[in-house]
Structure 1
């Protein structure tokens, strides 16, 4: 059986997925997508615990074959203690761009029982677009609940999932 070759004229494309989960506790500021959210609890983590930006960072690194967020920004390194996750995302995306990859689109889902996030989605989208220097139309943000099931449903945690499509011109090897 003859193998089929991908046309040399087509650009390279890669898909990456990222997922993150952080515990919710009182006494912390909730930040999602770089946007402060008015809520009586926040996410706990080594950095600012922005679960959405962590998922996006992981998706970008995975798509480009550059490892994961824990390898690039280990929680054992005090340089990243209380870090603004927008800076982590920018640093990771700069590495992705050094390999000539560009974002085609980004699709994200935040899972949280509370607070309701519909009103925050436009500002979250705008913040991510600004951080990555891409158009807002390249970003989709969805918010779901845990339907009162599991850690998300019991308001013990929030999760985020991100899928990114990257492209670059065909590399001549």
Structure 2
């Protein structure tokens, strides 16, 4: 077995939605990012890459590479899933926590779990998506951005 963890953060900017876990979530702002800025998927990718000892998302999809401008982060997750399989691992489970004051994550968590499970070729029962606030403290508490952390357990096939 291998364990990995990941973390991602993006500042809010212009827009009317954010992508979270592959789901378009209406919001009064968007995020500032090179790709679609999906903090859930970015943290999850980093957790998988970390568990495989294969670096981080920036090494696989450098922000300096224009091919990834405005990219759908689901392709990053599918790449991470393919690397898992190539190295002989399957997802045991993934646990993701979104840190923000808004938007509310609960109404979208099930849809996120479905998307993540599909892209990771996993059962939905192996994927957890939950949220917390920072009680109005820090950049997330002031509504300046959003963060996510993820932990994965990979099992050798």
TM-score by length of 1: 0.88
**Gap regions ≥5 residues in structure 2:** none
Tell me which residue corresponds to 2:66.
78
Q: Report the Cα distance in structure 2 between the residues aligned to 1:93 and 1:143, rounded to whole angstroms.
A: 24
| C-alpha contact (below 8 Å) 1:28/1:44 kept by paired residues | no
Q: Report the Cα distance in structure 2 between the residues aligned to 1:133 and 1:102, rounded to whole angstroms.
A: 8
Q: Does 1:155 align with 2:143?
A: yes
| C-alpha contact (below 8 Å) 2:16/2:26 kept by paired residues | no
Alignment length, in residue pairs?
157
Offset, 1:28:
5.2
Residue in structure 2 matching 1:104, options 65, 88, 92: 92
Q: Secondary structure at the match of 2:34?
A: coil
Tell me which residue corresponds to 2:132.
144
Residue in structure 2 matching 1:21, options 9, 24, 47: 9
Offset, 1:128:
0.7
Q: Secondary structure at the match of 1:52?
A: helix
The equivalences for 1:1-173 within 5 A come to 13-27=1-15, 29-169=17-157
Rg (Cα) greater in structure: 1
TM-score by length of 2: 0.97
**Gap regions ≥5 residues in structure 1:** 1-12
| C-alpha contact (below 8 Å) 1:101/1:168 kept by paired residues | yes
